[in-house]
């Protein structure tokens, strides 16, 4: 199994960091967790594509985690030469979002159906809304979800992917919580979104300080990893984006609470599990 950070950024556009998205390459195919801006450009660089996805796992319905859902749907459709349904797994409300995206794409869909004689089907998307529990089981590969805490965003999910003896947890946006702790128990890798509380408090803008009550700080993520006995902690969705030369500050904050390996997420960072 391999984890590739496709997008390590946050809602603010950054030329070096695409929007939140993590690719987990398994023996049953590629699993994409969230689809922030630029996801398919980064996937192409990583050797994946919309057509290669076994499933898209959605953590929650914040726009920065779903910006390029329309691109994933459209690109899979127009690059397939037979109907190839996109499996989308997410929390309650995911189906309504997909329906709205399909409606937004209505004109484009009609244009392409009219223009291409060999394209005779509309974009096939199969949405499964889930809560806590096993949400996908392909024999060797099992995906388990648990509720995380990103209130007032409800429900919000984290996912654990087990492939043979290897295990990866992708936390999404959350503060420390029991659901995430349960998923992390004994995991090889935890991919966790983080904010730098110290920097945000120094900036002191209400729109920024507001994010502190529903995101984990670097220390919070490290403590979660330590409680679960995780092997490697990967920090991503970095708020604010690290200034050049400050990367070790993030790692040091995590190392204060976690003795395992800590990696600072960058786009296309790949971790073999």
The predicted structure's pLDDT at residue 270: 98
How does DSSP classify residue 242? Answer: P
pLDDT in tens, 153-179: 999 999 999 999 999 999 999 999 999
SS3 content of the chain, % helix, strand, coil (to 5): 30, 30, 35
Helix axes 247-255, 218-228, angle to 10 degrees: 40
Which stretches of 113-225 are assigned E, i.e. beta strand?
A: 125-129, 133-137, 141-147, 157-163, 166-170, 189-195
Structural domains of the chain, with CATH: 2-265 (3.60.15.10)
CA distance 161 to 89: 13
C-alpha angle 238-61-154 in degrees, rounded to nearest 5: 100
Active-site positions read 64
In the chain, which stretches have pLDDT less than 50? none
Report the alpha-carbon angle 238-190-212, nearest 5.
Answer: 40
pLDDT for the residue numbered 198: 96
In this prediction, residue 86 carries a pLDDT of: 98
pLDDT for residue 217: 98
Environment class of residue 17 by beta-carbon count within 10 Å: exposed (0-12), middle (13-18) or buried (19+)? buried
Mean pLDDT of the chain: 97
Q: Exposed (0-12), middle (13-18) or buried (19+): which is 103, by Cβ within 10 Å? A: exposed
Tokens 């790692």 correspond to 251
Both structure tokens of 20: 């939140």
Which stretches does DSSP call E strand in the chain?
2-7, 21-26, 29-33, 53-57, 86-90, 125-129, 133-137, 141-147, 157-163, 166-170, 189-195, 232-239, 261-264, 269-272
Angle at the Cα of 249 (from 248 to 253), degrees rounded to 5? 115
d(CA 46, CA 32): 12
Q: What is the pTM of this model?
A: 0.97
pLDDT of residue 23: 99
């Amino acid at each position: 199994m391999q984890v590739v950070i496709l997008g390590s950024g946050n809602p603010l556009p950054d030329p070096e960091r695409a929007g939140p998205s993590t690719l987990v390459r398994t023996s049953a195919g590629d699993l994409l967790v969230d689809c922030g801006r630029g996801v398919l450009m980064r996937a192409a660089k990583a050797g994946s594509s919309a057509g290669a996805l076994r499933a898209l796992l959605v953590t929650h319905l914040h726009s920065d985690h779903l910006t390029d859902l329309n691109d994933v749907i459209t690109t899979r459709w127009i690059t397939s030469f037979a109907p190839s349904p996109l499996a989308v797994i997410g929390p309650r409300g995911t189906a309504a979002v997909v329906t709205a995206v399909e409606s937004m794409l209505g004109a484009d869909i009609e244009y392409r159906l009219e223009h291409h004689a060999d394209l005779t089907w509309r974009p096939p998307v199969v949405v499964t809304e889930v809560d806590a529990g096993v949400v996908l089981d392909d024999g060797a590969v099992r995906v388990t979800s648990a509720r995380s805490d990103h209130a007032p965003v409800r429900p919000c999910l984290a996912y654990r992917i087990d492939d043979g003896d290897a295990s990866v947890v992708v936390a999404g946006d959350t503060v420390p919580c029991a659901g995430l702790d349960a998923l992390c128990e004994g995991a090889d890798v935890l991919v966790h979104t983080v904010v730098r509380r110290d920097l945000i408090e120094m900036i002191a803008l209400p729109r920024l300080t507001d994010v502190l009550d529903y995101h984990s700080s670097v220390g919070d993520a490290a403590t979660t990893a330590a409680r679960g006995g995780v092997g490697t902690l990967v920090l991503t969705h970095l708020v604010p984006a690290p200034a050049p030369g400050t990367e070790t500050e993030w790692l040091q904050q995590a190392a204060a609470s976690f003795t395992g390996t800590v990696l600072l997420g960058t786009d296309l960072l790949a971790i073999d599990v």
